[in-house]
Amino acid sequence: MTTIEAPRDERDLRVVGRSLPRVEAAAKVTGSIAYADDIVLPGMLFCKLLRSRHPYARVLSIDTSAARAVPGVVAVLTGHDLPVNYGIMPTCEDEHALEHEKVRFVGDPVAAVAAVDEETAQAACRAINVEYEPLEAVESIEQALIPPDDEPLHDYAGPANVHRLAALEFGDVDAGFARAAHVREDIFFFEGNTHLPMEQHSATAQVVADKVTLWSSTQDPHYVHRALAKVLDLPMGKLRVVAAPHGGGFGGKCDPFSHEIVVCKIAMMTGRPVKCTLTREEVFYTHRGRHPVLMWVRTGVDADGRILAMHFRSALDGGAYGSYGPASTLYTGALQTTTYAIPAYRFEGARVFTNKAPCGPKRGHGTPQPRFALEVHLDKLAADVGLDPVELRRRNFVKPFSRTVNWLRITSCGLEEVTNRVLEASGYARRERRRGHGMGFAVSSYMCGAGLPIYWNKMPHSECVVNVGRGGVTLYCGATDIGQGSDSVLATVAAEELGLWPGDIRLVTGDTGLTPVDLGSYSSRVTFMAGNAAREAAAKMRALLVGVVADEEGCAPEEVEVRDGKVGRMTFEEAATLAEERFGVLSAHGTYTPPEGIGGRYKGAGVGPSPAYSYSAAAVDLNVDPGSGEIRVNKVWLAHDIGRSINEMAVRGQVEGGVYMGLGEALMEAQAYRDGLHRQPSMLDYKSLTFLEMPEVETILVETHDPEGPYGAKEVGQGPLLPVIPAVVSAVHDALGVWIDEIPVTPDKIVRALDARAKGKEARYGPKRFPDIPYPDLVKVAPPDAAPAAL
Amino acid sequence: MEVPDGRELLRLSVNREDRLLLVRSHTTLLEVLREDLGLTGTKHGCELGECGACTVLVDGTPQLSCLLLPAQVEGTAVTTIEGLARGSELHPVQQAFVAQGGLQCGYCTPGMVLAAKALLDENPAPSRDEIKEALAGNLCRCTGYASIIEAVEEAGRMLS
């Protein structure tokens, strides 16, 4: 376990907490920063992938002879050249860089061509003749539950096309329901959607001597490094993965991808650098985005509206491959308990394979869907028992420094405060009540990094080195800035400790050959984990410099101030020179490993634990046209428990961006299919909010100073998206009295719900049944002593 | 020497420099800028004129370089993001984007900055609605747009 120095008095903080421009901002506004596709190497080849046009088919033969004969073609690959399977999760390594036996979605890569230019590579791909035997495609969750006529998508699937099942019970749920004064059930559906990063994925590989280097638009070079070593059968020491400056990820660049593996293989075969950049259409089919999830929830409350028991079921449409699926499945059931003290909780989850682009992690990974269902369900429950929906929530809020029924350790928790601040700012309680205008409110919580790594090991999750020398201060860390601002966080932390400014720190990040490990930019882990590692490294360097200066000046180390570019009476450079004279190379390191005991010990307990949780509350004000169902969002208030802002400007940017993405998901974004084809694989047809639709956002930051976060900081990259979606649904109900139990909330659904009400039916649009799923026997887990049941 | 079939000889003025180029007739201005001139600050996001990432200024007017053939801009002055700063001094619009946090991943930023500059050249004190209208063709997935609007307002104040 990492020992963390007690925070210095916050009055001492000189850089942390300010609003400062990002360290790489000038390079971005001048266009001089080189993203993955901006890399050009001498003699470079260009690669294109041939992808399946069938949603599901056996590959009978692949004839590449015509492609090889195209002038300018240098290499043609098929799955025979890359036979080793891989996948991000050790339990479902079900992918091949190129499939040569079976294709499972439109877009599944089957062959690759490298040529002197992209156009030639594309033409040669068209010259490859693949003979397919189409199989009956699985298009829905329901269909995936029926034994297929042909064969399941994967050998390890089953029953039918089920990928993964989970069934957990914490406490006595039946007894809780038996004691309940009121019990309610609801069914919800959340359609899938995609990340839509502005930058298409791109990767370039180069081989020098026997060493392979890959530059890629990846969020986690470490996991790509591992996958490459396996598939290419090379020692990790012969491989280097560099995360290029990143044009947006949101979770979509967290898996190891075919194009990354293929360019390495071709570079190894030809000895020439190779680049592969996906087209926008390919990005839509590469996906790994938000799972479509069908959900059923049943909650029992006592006469005062206190939750006695909850039973939550989810069914995830996983698409064609495993990806992060086992984790995604468990995430749909893990964080219900981090906002509400649920004394008895049962979760049953299932993920199925279908012949669509694989789903994976997107901002909030597996939790926006159940958060939408849970919050809307509680709104309805509150109405049932005649309580104000905010009051019902308050009565069930978790307490700071408590333990949930599923064993998650809660530390700092600003849930009450974010609620109060949003209500106060938005005037929710005093809102104007008129037809067509509504306000909605919801809360949420998210992790500050996954408590466990994706593959089991006992090594640190994040490591940093700070070197000081005649080249100045350099910080090395595997963390990857995907636009969220992690480079600025690291520079700010180092600057704070060393009495410098962020711009004084040179950064080397996201490079498996040069930097110590950081697991990557996923699960909102970087500020908390890499921030702590950077702080430890920089604090050690500070102590070293202070010691040397104290000796020189003949005073106690406590008397040496480190600030404004000075160490005691010396300049930073003088102090560094003195220290180098005495010690030689000045290098300090720091590591972060999450503490033991933050989660349970049951099977499935690996998903959900985090060293801390952020809390958010949202209020949404909107107008809905009762005739057309068209929604105009007027304003969103978002209060977020950030622990402490490392850089307030960056934090606000993450809140505003999270609200934006939440609104897009709530109102319009959908990765939907017809006959295996994406319905809208372009940026014009796949709707996202422009300047014109984006409402004003009022950001309220609440600082709870987490005892283990760096200077008390927690995450902000993912949490603020979560409450926005249910708050939109709630606001639509407030405006028109209809429940839209399916995301996105599009005008046609509102009109249909209004029509249903006009015909005397339920004033609702949404799924009507939850399928019979062969969940396994429940794993019964005794709640921890400190769980609400025992309080 | 004759120009071979399918190729075109072009004379372009990009960032105040005259360039003589032999390109394939069907390559877009975006490709010529990025691949023939090495001006990779101009980004490709969609290849179909939907996202605004490839915005350049043609005689001061924002245009989507992925929808232009280079022959269409012969005789005009093309400005890419690399042509905006004067030496190491950032243009006020660039300074404002930095200062206001008007960027995160930065991939849409070159197009956004150029579209904003064109707006401010015509209208130094635009209203919020005018800013939104002028930039509505430029998508950003990171910022939620608010900080970009603030950056344009700030740039307007700096320029006037």
Q: What is the pLDDT of residues A573-585, one digit of tens each?
A: 999 999 999 999 9
**A656 and B CB contact within 8 Å:** yes
If you measure CA to CA, which chain A residue comes closest to B41?
A31
**A713 and B CB contact within 8 Å:** no
If you measure CA to CA, which chain B residue comes closest to A27?
B106
Q: Is the peptide bond before A159 cis (omega within 30 degrees of 0)?
A: yes
Given this model, what pLDDT does residue B3 score?
87
Q: Alpha helices of A99-169 — where are they, by DSSP H?
A: 118-126, 141-144
**A168 and B CB contact within 8 Å:** no
If you measure CA to CA, which chain B residue comes closest to A197?
B141
**B136–A683 C-beta distance less than 8 A:** no
Q: Which residue has the higher pLDDT, A788 or A516?
A: A516
pLDDT digits (tens, 9 = 90+) for A674-715: 999 999 999 999 999 999 999 999 999 999 999 999 999 999
Arithmetic mean of pLDDT, A722-750: 98
Arithmetic mean of pLDDT, A305-331: 98
Nearest to B41 among A19, A32, A195 (CB): A32
Residue A108 has pLDDT above 90, yes or no: yes
Arithmetic mean of pLDDT, B47-54: 95
Judging contacts by C-beta atoms under 8 Å, the chain B residues touching residue A683 are: 45-46, 48, 50-51, 139
Mean per-residue pLDDT over chain B, rounded: 96
If you measure CA to CA, which chain A residue comes closest to B24?
A119
Nearest to B98 among A19, A25, A659 (CB): A25
pLDDT digits (tens, 9 = 90+) for A200-236: 999 999 999 999 999 999 999 999 999 999 999 999 9
Tokens 């926008």 -> residue: A280
Separation CA A147–CA A166 (nearest Å): 20
Q: How far is B107 from chain A (nearest CA, A)?
A: 5
**B139–A688 C-beta distance less than 8 A:** yes
Q: Cite the beta strand spans of A91-135 per DSSP E.
A: 102-103, 109-115, 129-134
Q: Say how many CB pairs under 8 Å bridge A and B.
A: 169
Given this model, what pLDDT does residue A738 score?
98
If you measure CA to CA, which chain A residue comes closest to B97?
A29
Residue A607 has pLDDT above 70, yes or no: yes
| 547-586 of A, contacting B, C-beta below 8 A | none
Given this model, what pLDDT does residue A291 score?
98
Which distant-in-sequence residues (6+ apart) come within 8 Å of A289 by Cβ? Answer: A192, A193, A194, A195, A251, A252, A359, A360, A362, A671
Mean per-residue pLDDT over chain A, rounded: 96
What number of CA atoms fall less than 13 Å from residue A558's CA on the CB side?
Answer: 1
pLDDT digits (tens, 9 = 90+) for B76-107: 999 999 999 999 999 999 999 999 999 999 99
Are the C-beta atoms of A350 and A165 separated by less than 8 Å? yes
Judging contacts by C-beta atoms under 8 Å, the chain A residues touching residue B146 are: 656, 694, 696-697
Q: How far is A532 from chain B (nearest CA, A)?
A: 22
Q: Alpha helices of B5-143 — where are they, by DSSP H?
A: 29-31, 92-100, 109-122, 128-135
| 35-94 of A, contacting B, C-beta below 8 A | 35, 37-38, 40
Q: Testing the interface with B: which of A30, A659, A698, A699 to mutate, by most B Cβ within 10 A?
A: A30
**pLDDT tier for residue A10 given thresholds of 50, 70 and 90:** low
Separation CA B44–CA A683 (nearest Å): 12
Nearest to A21 among B82, B98, B136 (CB): B98
The predicted model scores a pTM of 0.97
Arithmetic mean of pLDDT, A416-422: 98
* Long-range residue pairs from A77-84, CB within 8 A, at least 24 positions apart, any chain: A77/A111, A77/A112, A77/A113, A77/A262, A77/A265, A77/A266, A77/A269, A78/A110, A78/A111, A78/A112, A79/A110, A81/A265, A81/A269, A82/A231, A82/A261, A82/A262, A82/A265, A84/A230, A84/A231, A84/A232, A84/A233
**A196 and B CB contact within 8 Å:** yes
Are the C-beta atoms of A320 and A153 separated by less than 8 Å? yes
Residue A4 has pLDDT above 50, yes or no: no
Are the C-beta atoms of A472 and A595 separated by less than 8 Å? no
Judging contacts by C-beta atoms under 8 Å, the chain A residues touching residue B48 are: 280, 682-684
**A653 and B CB contact within 8 Å:** yes
| 678-697 of A, contacting B, C-beta below 8 A | 682-684, 688, 690-692, 694, 696-697
**A482 and B CB contact within 8 Å:** yes
Given this model, what pLDDT does residue A321 score?
98
If you measure CA to CA, which chain A residue comes closest to B114?
A29
Judging contacts by C-beta atoms under 8 Å, the chain A residues touching residue B81 are: 29-31
Q: How far is CA A780 from CA A337, A404, A601, A609, A789, in A?
A: 16, 15, 12, 18, 15
**A650 and B CB contact within 8 Å:** yes
Judging contacts by C-beta atoms under 8 Å, the chain A residues touching residue B24 are: 119
Given this model, what pLDDT does residue A9 score?
53
Residue A2 has pLDDT above 50, yes or no: no
If you measure CA to CA, which chain B residue comes closest to A649?
B101
**A19–B106 C-beta distance less than 8 A:** no
| 227-246 of A, contacting B, C-beta below 8 A | 245-246
Tell me the two tokens of residue B123: 């209208």
Q: How far is B90 from chain A (nearest CA, A)?
A: 8
Arithmetic mean of pLDDT, A424-428: 98
List beta partners, residue A506: A474
Q: How far is B105 from chain A (nearest CA, A)?
A: 4
pLDDT digits (tens, 9 = 90+) for A61-80: 999 999 999 999 999 999 99
pLDDT digits (tens, 9 = 90+) for A161-189: 999 999 999 999 999 999 999 999 999 99
Given this model, what pLDDT does residue A150 score?
87
**B113–A29 C-beta distance less than 8 A:** yes
If you measure CA to CA, which chain A residue comes closest to B46?
A280
> CA A231, A236, A240: angle at the middle one, nearest 5?
95
**pLDDT tier for residue A6 given thresholds of 50, 70 and 90:** very low
Arithmetic mean of pLDDT, A522-529: 97
3-state SS class at A511: strand
**pLDDT tier for residue A11 given thresholds of 50, 70 and 90:** low
**A659 and B CB contact within 8 Å:** yes
Residue A791 has pLDDT above 60, yes or no: no
Judging contacts by C-beta atoms under 8 Å, the chain A residues touching residue B42 are: 31
